[in-house]
């Protein structure tokens, strides 16, 4: 690693390179898991589920850029880790709402399809009401939000550690 610029040089520090890969593999896996559970598994996401997805999308883009901008690779990898950590923090909040530890959203949200007022109303009335305070699926006693929190926060810490390690 070039200390003056913070870039990952042609010799490629193994830890920094691993961090770069984790910076795209972790959010990519979360994206695939979320979309798979939604479209293949039939689990409709609540509003906070969507909130957890956005930072992973950002991390994917930022982490991907780190491969094309080698002089800024270290900074971009750290920013990807921050975005992953943000998703994990939202996951902690969502898991707490599911467990009743604190109050979540006071309003519900739904997606609509159609253009006319009648079509939009039909879409709203046909859409399932997905509550953020009810767990739809668990594995080993943890909800998807809790798994996101656990994996994202652990991965973000690991990516930061690997990136900053000399």
Long-range contacts: 77-81, Cβ < 8 Å, 24+?
77/16, 77/19, 77/20, 77/23, 77/159, 77/163, 78/159, 78/160, 78/163, 78/164, 80/23, 80/24, 80/27, 80/159, 81/19, 81/23, 81/155, 81/156, 81/157, 81/159, 81/160, 81/163
pLDDT at 4 over 50: no
Q: What is the pTM of this model?
A: 0.75
Kindly list the domain boundaries of the chain, sorted by start residue: 14-102+109-164
pLDDT 10s digits, 97-122: 877 787 777 555 555 555 677 776 77
| Burial classification of residue 33, based on how many CB atoms lie within 10 Å of its CB (0-12 exposed, 13-18 middle, 19 or more buried) | middle
For CA atoms 30, 33, 35, 37, the dihedral sign is negative
């Amino acid at each position: 690693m070039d200390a003056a610029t913070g870039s990952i040089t042609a010799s490629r520090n193994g830890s920094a390179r691993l961090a770069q890969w984790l910076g795209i593999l972790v959010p990519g896996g979360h994206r695939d898991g979320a979309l798979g559970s939604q479209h293949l598994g039939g689990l409709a996401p609540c509003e906070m589920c969507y909130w957890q997805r956005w930072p992973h999308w950002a991390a994917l883009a930022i982490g991907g850029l780190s491969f094309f901008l080698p002089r800024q690779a270290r900074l971009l990898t750290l920013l990807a880790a921050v975005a992953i950590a943000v998703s994990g923090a939202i996951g902690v909040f969502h898991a707490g709402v599911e467990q009743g530890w604190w109050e979540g959203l006071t309003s519900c949200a739904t997606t609509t399809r159609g253009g006319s007022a009648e079509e939009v109303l039909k879409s709203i009335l046909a859409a399932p009401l997905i509550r953020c305070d009810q767990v739809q699926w668990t594995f080993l006693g943890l909800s998807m939000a809790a798994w996101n929190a656990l994996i994202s926060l652990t991965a973000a810490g690991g990516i930061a550690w690997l990136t900053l390690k000399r």
